[in-house]
């Protein structure tokens, strides 16, 4: 009889593969095993998207809007090799992610703003102003 050692990290990979494509992963493009957690809030005047991405530089974020798809991405390449020493093992040479969100015609795209503070990227998506029409009686002639 052969005993097989249970490796819990392999179990996580199996679950990830099984649930791949389920709604929990929609809107995510995971790179290097990282996809930031996102909160989306709605107020009367705007949507607020918050991405939890601590320890990053705001210059490495990219936010684009194309055909109703808002994409937030981050990419950071490793520093170049140092000639003073020889690297024996290198595991963290690249970091990146991409998250996409569908934007409808209620958003004032000219007013979209973003800021990165305290490890959270905050994207402000203002709604277009709506014209409210008061109910009125129309005379029939």
Judge whether residue 43 has pLDDT over 70: yes
The total of other beta-carbon atoms located within 10 Å of residue 3's CB is 5
Domains of the chain: 27-78+92-126 (2.60.40.790)
- Residue 22 pLDDT level (bands cut at 50, 70, 90): very low
Residues 23, 25: Cα–Cα separation, whole Å:
5
Q: What is the DSSP code string of 85-111? A: S--S----SEEEEEEEEE--TTB-GGG
Nearest to 123 by CA among 39, 31, 23: 39
The total of other beta-carbon atoms located within 10 Å of residue 121's CB is 22
If you average pLDDT over residues 111-133, what whole number do you get? 90
Tell which wins on pLDDT, 30 or 84.
84
Tell which wins on pLDDT, 137 or 106.
106
Residues 6+ apart with CB under 8 A from 99: 27, 28, 29, 35, 36, 38, 51, 71, 72, 73
**Average pLDDT over the chain, rounded to an integer:** 76
What's the CA dihedral at 120, 58, 74, 38 to 10 degrees? 10
Per DSSP, 80 falls in state: P
Res 75: pLDDT: 86
- Residue 26 pLDDT level (bands cut at 50, 70, 90): very low
- Residue 3 pLDDT level (bands cut at 50, 70, 90): very low
**For residue 38, how many C-alpha atoms fall within 13 Å in the half-sphere facing its CB?**
21
């Amino acid at each position: 009889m052969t005993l097989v050692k249970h490796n819990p990290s392999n179990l996580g990979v199996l679950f990830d593969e099984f649930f791949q494509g389920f709604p929990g992963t929609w809107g995510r493009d995971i790179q290097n095993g990282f996809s930031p957690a996102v909160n989306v809030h709605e107020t009367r005047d705007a949507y607020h998207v918050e991405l939890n991405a601590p320890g990053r530089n705001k210059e490495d974020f990219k936010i684009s809007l194309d055909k109703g798809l808002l994409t937030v991405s981050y990419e950071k390449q490793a520093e170049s090799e140092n000639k003073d020493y020889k690297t024996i093992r290198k595991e963290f040479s690249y970091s990146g992610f991409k998250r996409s969100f569908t934007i409808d015609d209620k958003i004032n795209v000219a007013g979209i703003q973003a800021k990165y503070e305290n490890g959270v990227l905050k994207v402000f998506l203002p709604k277009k102003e709506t014209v409210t029409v008061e109910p009125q009686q129309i005379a029939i002639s």
